[in-house]
Structures are given as structure tokens and as C-alpha cells.
Structure 1
Amino acid sequence: MKKLSARRRHPLAALVVLLFALAATGGLYAALAPAPKAQADDSSQSIEITEGKKLFSVGCASCHGTHGQGSSDGPSLTGVGSAAVDFQVGTGRMPAQQPGPQIQQKKVQYTQKDIDQLAAYIASLGPGPVIPSSDQYDPAGAEQGKGGELFRSNCSQCHNFVGKGGALTDGKYAPTLKGVDPKHIYEAMQTGPQNMPSFPDTTLPSKSKADIIAYLKAVDSADSPNPGGFTLGTLGPVPEGLFAYIFGLGALLGIAAWIAARTTKAKKS
């Protein structure tokens, strides 16, 4: 007991106890704590964000601001999400060639890798719609009939009944959907670019979007049946009315003129 008491009074006893307690605490924490998550600075996502910021500074900041906050020449990009970037840049609409009532589609200026990096940077500015996975927009197995009903109810007012597009007000227009990549159609429904309203999953579920894409791909096919006869470009009631006005009314006027001429001739004789 005297030896133990003497050791307790040793000048280094408190330090030894402290070191032992620290070691025990550290060991228990290492054994029981959950595995630490990879830090963003060490991930490939962080590298994409960094490279995307460089691309943004060169090609986008002049209109959208140095930090995507927007300016008089371009809207804020905070919260637009990666899907909006993939759609706008992936279809060639951005970077914009010139201002106007509607941004024109043109040749894509960036590689898909660059687009992914830009999308990662913009997504880091605030939460927003994400780029869909391939199984979300794959039309295989989707219901074309249901998609046609949804399209006619929500989209045909602008894009026409089979997605051929149409004119809007003040120089704007709804573009044709013929030949558009299914991913970009899905992203357009998610984000609502330019004049188009957005259809998030809370409004139009992912399956319904795939159904619409399946319908558009079916009517876009060269083998698509047309039981109604001559399509007149499948542009809807406007060309049909024009055809009826020119040929139908023209035929009636011709018949009326022929009858009048015959009647006049009969009276003279």
C-alpha cells in the first residue's frame, strides 16, 4: 500500500493517467464512430466543380455574373440545377449567340465532359433539378397511348398535336420536337426553358414523362400509321383550314361561276 501511495504522489502520475484516458477515449471513438465520409475537396465531384467554374468564368460569367448571380444580360443560375445546364448547353442554346425574344438553337459548343463540369458547378450554387438517369427517360416499355393523352392535354397548345412546333406571341415559338434526344425532352419538362412551364415530378411523375417521350418517338417514326389520310404536314387545324379555304371555297366559287355562265347563255339563246 505504501508503494502504491508513493507512486500516486509521483510527479508524472497525473500525466500518465491523462495519456491513458486520452488513448482509451480515442480507441473507443475509432471503434464505435461511423466511417467518415469522403470530403468534397478530395472527391471527383469537387474536381468537376472546379473545372466547371473555370469554364463558366470564360464562357458564361459575362452574362450570368461571376458567381452565377445574374445580371441585366442574363438571369441568375442559383437553383436552376444541373438538368437546366445539360439541356441549354447540350442543345446549343447556350452560350447565346445574341439577345432576342427567344434563344436560338445552334451547334453545340462544348463536349459532354465540359457540359457535365459546367452542370456540376451550377448545381453547387443551389439545389435544383438534376440530370435524369437513362432509365427515367427511356421510352422502352412506356405507354404511348397514355403519353398521347398527356401530351394533348399539356403540350399540344404550343407544340402541336404531334410535336411539330408552332408560333407564339412577340416573335417567340414552340420548337419542333422531331429528332430531339429523349434526355433533353425530359429535362425540358423538368426545368421549363424559356416560355415553357416546368413539370416537376410532383406535377408530372417520371413515368408520365417517359410515356410522353414514347408517344413523341412513335409519331416521329417513319412507320407511324396515318389512318386519317394525307397529313398536310401534321401541323394541325391551321393548314387544314387553309386547304379547305383555298380548294374547297375555290371549288364552290368555280361551280357558282359555271352555273351563272350557263344560266346567262341559256337566257340569250
Structure 2
Amino acid sequence: MTTSSDPASKRRRPLRARGKFQRRLAGTLALGLALVTAGAMYAVFAPQPQEAQAEADPALLQEGEQIYNNTCITCHGANLEGVEDRGPSLIGIGEASVYFQTSTGRMPMVRQEAQAPEKPPQLDPDEVEAVSAYVHEHGGGPEMPEESGTDLQGDDPARGGELFRTNCTSCHHFTGRGGGMSSGKYGPQLDGLDEETIYSAMASGPQNMPKFSDRQLTPEEKKDIVAYVQSVTDGNNSPGGNPLGGYGPMPEGLIAWIVGIGGLVAITMWIGARR
């Protein structure tokens, strides 16, 4: 019978303790290696921060502050924090949102309702630029592109059409006719919009529209969508004749049914009358 005073038992105890220590050390080293690997992968694959925006003209910011105090402060607060039951915070919306809302006349709003309708703008282009710069300087957010006009139209409107049908048709229809939504909301028509308005809407996500960041739609893809929209709105893409409002197969099928079936009924009645 072996007792606790057995020399062999005493030798096994240090061996077990040493094995336990080695296992703990191996686990700690494995955890440290995993953390170092994860950190290295994040440093390699994480998106790089955007370059700092160039400092805005102080005179432009001062003008924008004056315009903001005259037209926006009642609903959005002195520090862009928003006012309860009047208007949301403007922190983080960026100059793209301010440009879209003010250049289309949606802001200032006449009254609180489900959706701000487009109306004649209350600010001229210089005032829009100034108040956009002021809000962006103090709140940050999506920026407007450096290009303007036709330079915002991409080189591949066909790809733009595919992206538009995937991301936009549920609200705007596939030719930009717009359509009704629930609770008094709607997708507006896209006729007559300039390139800056279309691009800024995608970048800022106004009202019920989702915001498409550069990770969801790259600037090049946004420009292709702009090119597609400009090619199919304002009656620019009707190779088959009368577009019937541009709403696609529904009115076309209705007209075919009315004309076709109506014509058959009329012919049948004419044949019966002759007999």
C-alpha cells in the first residue's frame, strides 16, 4: 500500500503542477496571439477615415448663420439640436441634406405633415450654399460632390438602371413616375430634377427615403443612377410611341384590354346587326 510519504508520489505532484502551469501559459499565449491577429486584420481591412474637409470661408459661415437664425432656428434650435414637436436635430445630416431640402423648397415647411412637398424655394442658390456650409460646419454629415451638372452623370446608365430598379422602384416606379405609400406618404416624381438634387437625395436620405452611403452605393454608382434617371424622365425614353404616363405594363395592358376587347365586341355587334 502506497502512503502520502511515498517518494514516487512526491515526485508526481511537481510534474502535475508543472503541466497545469504549462497549459495555462499555452492558453494565455494563444489568446494573446488571437488578439494581435485580430488587431492586425482590423488595421489592414478597416475603412480609412475620410480626409478632413477644407475649412469653410468665415464670411460664408457668417452669412449662413444669419440665414439659419432667420429661417431655421425656430424649428431646429440654436445649436442644431432640434425642437420638440417642431423639427428634428440637424446634427449629422450634412450639407447634402440641407441642399436637397432648401433647394427644392421643402424647407422651410409650411406646416407639420406626413411629408414635406416640393414647392418654390425660399432661398436663392447663394443662400442655400451659405446655410449648407454653416450646418455642415457645426453638425457634419454627408457632403456634396465636387462635380455639378452633367459631370454628375455617369458613363453607364444601363448599370444605373439596374441599380435604380433594385433600390428605388418600390417608391419611385421604374421610370421615376413616383407612387403612393402608407400614412399620407408618397414617392415623388423625378421629372425636372437636376443632377445635384438627385445625387444629394441619395446621399442624405430625405424623409422616407433611405440614405445610401458610399458603402452601399459608391459615388460612381450614384452617378450612373443619375444618368439613368435623366435618360428616362421628362419623356426622353419613349421609343415605342406614347408612354401612357410612363407607368409601364399596367396602363398598357388596360389600354390593350379596352381597345382590343372593345373592338371585338363592336365587330361582333356589327356582324349581328347585318344578319
Partner of 1:64: 76
Which residue matches 1:164? 177
CA distance in 2, matches of 1:175, 1:44: 33
Q: Does 1:199 align with 2:216?
A: no
Instruction: Note the 1:1-269 alignment, pairs <5 A.
Output: 45-71=57-83, 72-134=85-147, 138-139=151-152, 142-220=155-233, 224-227=237-240, 229-244=241-256, 246-248=258-260, 250=262, 258=269, 262=272
Paired with 1:177 and 1:143, the residues of 2 have a C-alpha distance of 19
| SS at 2:75 equivalent | helix
State which drifts further: 173-182 or 218-227.
Answer: 218-227
1:11-60 superposed Cα distances (whole Å, 9 cap, x missing partner) = xxxxxxxxxxxxxxxxxxxxxxxxxxxxx9xx762332222122111111
RMSD: 2.7
Paired positions, count = 221
Structure 1 position 240, deviation (Å) = 3.0
Contact 2:154 2:220 in 1 (8 A): no
Letter in 2 for 1:163: G
SS at match of 1:88: helix
SS of the residue 1:100 aligns to? coil
TM-score, normalised by the number of residues in structure 1: 0.72
Residue type of the alignment partner of 2:92: G
Q: Which runs of 5+ in 2 are unaligned?
A: 1-53
SS at match of 2:139: coil
Distance 1:222 1:242, change over 3 A: closer
Distance 1:108 1:136, change over 3 A: closer
What residue is the counterpart of 1:10 in the other structure?
none
- 1:136–1:210: 8 Å Cα contact kept in structure 2? no
TM-score by length of 2: 0.71
Deviation at 1:139, TM superposition (A): 4.6
SS in 2 for 1:125: helix
Q: Write the distance in 1 (CA, Å) between the matches of 2:96 and 2:217.
A: 16
Give the drift of 1:243: 2.8
* More moved, 190-199 vs 213-222: 213-222
Is 187-196 or 94-103 further displaced after alignment?
94-103
Question: 1:141–1:160: structure 2 CA closer, same or farther, 3 Å change rule?
Answer: closer
Change (3 A) 1:223 1:76: closer
Residues 88-109 of structure 1, C-alpha deviations (whole Å, 9 max, x = no match): 1011111112221111111111
Q: Percent identity?
A: 40
Runs of at least 5 residues in structure 1 that lack an aligned partner in the other structure: 1-39
CA distance in 2, matches of 1:130, 1:111: 19
Q: Quote the residue 1:23 is aligned against.
A: none
Over 3 Å counting, the alpha-carbon distance change for 1:70 and 1:141 in structure 2 is closer
Q: The residue matched to 1:138 in structure 2 has which SS?
A: helix
Distance in 2 between the 1:77 and 1:88 partners? Answer: 12
Check whether the contact 1:137–1:209 (CA below 8 A) recurs between aligned residues.
no
CA distance in structure 1 between the partners assigned to 2:74 and 2:116 by the alignment: 17
Residues 44 and 122 (structure 1 numbering): CA distance in 2 closer, same or farther, change over 3 Å?
closer
Q: What's the CA shift string for 1:161-193, capped at 9, x where partnerless?
A: 111212212222111111101011000000110
Moved more, 46-55 or 67-76: 46-55
